[in-house]
Amino acid sequence: MKSDIEIASQAQMKPIRYIAEKLSLTEDDWEPYGHYKAKLSVDLLEKLSDRPSGKVILTTSINPTPAGEGKSTVTVGLGQALNHLNKKAIIALREPSLGPTMGIKGGAAGGGYAQVIPMDEINLHFTGDIHAITSANNALAAFIDNHIQHGNEMHIDPRRIGWKRVMDINDRALREVVVGLGGPGKGIPRQDGFNITVASELMAILCLAANLQDMKRRIGKIVIGYTYEKQPVNVEQLGFEGALTLLLKDAIKPNLVQTLENTPALIHGGPFANIAHGCNSVMATKLASKLGDYVVTEAGFGADLGAEKFLNIKTRAAGLEPDAVVIVATIRALKMHGGLKKDQLNSQDLEALNKGMENLKKHIETIEQFQLPFIVAVNKFPADTQEEIDFLTKWCEKHSVEVSVVDVFAEGGQGGLDLAGKVVRLCEAKTTSLHYSYELDDPIELKINKIAKKIYGAGGVEFSSKASKQMVQMEQLGYGNLPVCMAKTQYSLSDRPEKLGRPKDFTITVKEFHPSVGAGFIVALTGDVMTMPGLPKYPAALNMDITEEGVIKGLF
């Protein structure tokens, strides 16, 4: 089989005008970014507000393993399959970060015959949104240091600045830095650090904002740090919300591209789901629901992270809820949850598969708690045996769980027709409405306990003394009613990445909080999760090249 980049570069792309016309967009509604990408007008959502909304389908998965699950692949393939059934479907995905692209995971444009294109551009700089967020984030950092340099009228305590600099690459050497060295003309020395751009609060704000003015309002509310008197300082007090909004005026416009089968796709915003809220922008998801009858959208990592935050945070901000949830699982990943190593996955092992089913079962129970209709999509890999697939489908039948085996990777939309048909029926038969895991007026400690117990299956939660103090402070400052964005490893239901399957009797440890008041949530950092990841010994970048003829190699 050809590599993803070979398939993508041989695709029959339609000029983006064709895709825009297919969506009945007028000239004012979009602007071309080259031949195959466009930005949609920031006013389009308002213009379409009277239109009825289409059905929203959320794709999630079991806990990811190095074996790969293929959530984006299934999301794209399902959108393509719905179009085969003559449904007007639009895909809504996140923008890939260069961190994973150059690092270990690879891109985020789907795979095989279920990809969004131009995949090289989408995976690299795309329309520059992530770079714009980096610039705006770092502009704010510069404004803060400049304010301190010129007299520090606000009494900002340099030891209590929470606003970090960012860059969109995994660079562990920048996690902790000292800035302002070199004497009085070069700033006030203080300890600082870098996060990856996709963990920036500005990324979360762009993804949760209803429109440009709402983005500006939220930017104004960002708490950058505290004064010597321990009072919060926000961006509005410093007066920079206008400039920062200006820097993001194009980044807030959703990007339109297409799939290999010319299905429209909106790709916009890209927070990670382990250290941020993990969902594409509210504006893109809502726009897709106004432009199509079905939106297939994805939340990052497993249902314990991306889906939990989609359902408890994004739906509240956006005023929408999914009509159906697709839980993606692979035989390979389940066998890893059952104890196998990555190099043992190519031979049949029903015992390991049976053991690994515990992980899927937990995520099924989680989606059941949200009271949403769901289906398990088995993303077929070449090494899966028929016996293994039968085992998984029979398990689902025995537990009265809807299931569909998909092969969109090898067949494109054609390989997802069964899934698409079942998803349509689920959406039409939906009678229940979304049941949140916690109430906004629950105290912060209770919210986290509810997430840990209901979603992770934890026995309880421990708070470090720093976290306990911060919790009291945040309640006092009036942030207690915000939802909580958990920062936790994606690999395990627990906060320890090595605990695969369905760990039991474990405790979640909250080490520290960070109020993202502009985004509208409180980040709770658990375990050893890092907001600036590192690169592996052999980064994916080592395989990448571009030839004299301009042929791209090794982009998966």
Binding residues for ATP: 65-72
The count of C-alpha atoms lying within 13 angstroms of the C-alpha of 312, restricted to the half-sphere facing its C-beta, is 30
Look up tokens 């769980």; give the residue.
Answer: 401
Give the bridge partners for 38, in sequence order.
32, 256
CB 304 within 8 A of CB 488: yes
Rounded to whole angstroms, how far apart are CA atoms 331 and 67? 9
Residue 351 CB, shortest distance to ligand ADP, in Å, is: 23
Neighbours of 328 (CB within 10 A): 28
Residue 69 CB, shortest distance to ligand ADP, in Å, is: 4
Q: Between 169 and 406, whose beta carbon lies closer to ligand ADP?
A: 406
Residue 67 CB, shortest distance to ligand ADP, in Å, is: 9
User: Considering CB under 6 A, how many residues would be counted as binding ligand ADP?
Assistant: 18
Q: Between 322 and 415, whose beta carbon lies closer to ligand ADP?
A: 415
- DSSP secondary structure of 96-150: PPHHHHHSSS--SSEETTEEEESHHHHHTTTTSHHHHHHHHHHHHHHHHHHHHHT
Per-residue contact string for residues 91-110; x = within reach of ligand ADP by CB under 6 A = ---------------x-x-x
Rounded to whole angstroms, how far apart are CA atoms 165 and 473? 24
Stretch that binds ligand ADP, among 8-16, 64-72, 156-164, 358-366 (CB under 6 A): 64-72
Residue 124 CB, shortest distance to ligand ADP, in Å, is: 16
Stretch that binds ligand ADP, among 9-17, 25-33, 67-75, 132-140 (CB under 6 A): 67-75
The count of C-alpha atoms lying within 13 angstroms of the C-alpha of 89, restricted to the half-sphere facing its C-beta, is 27
Nearest to 523 by CA among 474, 490, 455, 476: 474
Residue 272 CB, shortest distance to ligand ADP, in Å, is: 11
Residue from the set 11, 36, 62, 70 that interacts with ligand ADP by CB under 6 A? 70
Neighbours of 42 (CB within 10 A): 17
Residue 414 CB, shortest distance to ligand ADP, in Å, is: 14
At 371 the three-state DSSP class reads: coil
Q: Between 409 and 456, whose beta carbon lies closer to ligand ADP?
A: 409
Q: Between 200 and 379, whose beta carbon lies closer to ligand ADP?
A: 379
502 binds ligand ADP (CB under 6 A): no
Q: Between 119 and 238, whose beta carbon lies closer to ligand ADP?
A: 119
Rounded to whole angstroms, how far apart are CA atoms 92 and 281? 9
Q: Between 73 and 255, whose beta carbon lies closer to ligand ADP?
A: 73
| 397-456: contacts with ligand ADP (CB under 6 A) | 409
Q: Between 169 and 327, whose beta carbon lies closer to ligand ADP?
A: 327
Residues contacting 408, CB < 8 A, separation 6+: 73, 74, 76, 77, 78, 80, 81, 112, 113, 114, 379, 415, 416
What Rg value do the Cα atoms of the chain yield, rounded? Answer: 23
**Cα 415 to the chain's mean position, in Å?**
25
Give how far Cα 145 sits from Cα of 47, 61, 141, Å: 41, 42, 6
Per-residue contact string for residues 2-21; x = within reach of ligand ADP by CB under 6 A = --x-----------------
Residue 307 CB, shortest distance to ligand ADP, in Å, is: 12
| 327-386: contacts with ligand ADP (CB under 6 A) | 379-381
Residue from the set 53, 60, 63, 72 that interacts with ligand ADP by CB under 6 A? 72
Residue from the set 29, 69, 321, 495 that interacts with ligand ADP by CB under 6 A? 69
Nearest to 140 by CA among 226, 245, 214, 249: 245
Q: Between 97 and 135, whose beta carbon lies closer to ligand ADP?
A: 97
Rounded to whole angstroms, how far apart are CA atoms 517 and 540? 35
Stretch that binds ligand ADP, among 62-70, 119-127, 339-347, 420-428 (CB under 6 A): 62-70
Q: Between 103 and 111, whose beta carbon lies closer to ligand ADP?
A: 111
Q: Between 415 and 520, whose beta carbon lies closer to ligand ADP?
A: 415
Indicate the residue whose CB is closest to ligand ADP. 111
Residue 106 CB, shortest distance to ligand ADP, in Å, is: 5
Neighbours of 424 (CB within 10 A): 20
Give the bridge partners for 295, in sequence order.
56, 90
Residue from the set 32, 68, 225, 339 that interacts with ligand ADP by CB under 6 A? 68
User: What residues line the site for ligand ADP (CB under 6 A)?
Assistant: 4, 61, 68-73, 106, 108, 110-112, 379-381, 409, 556
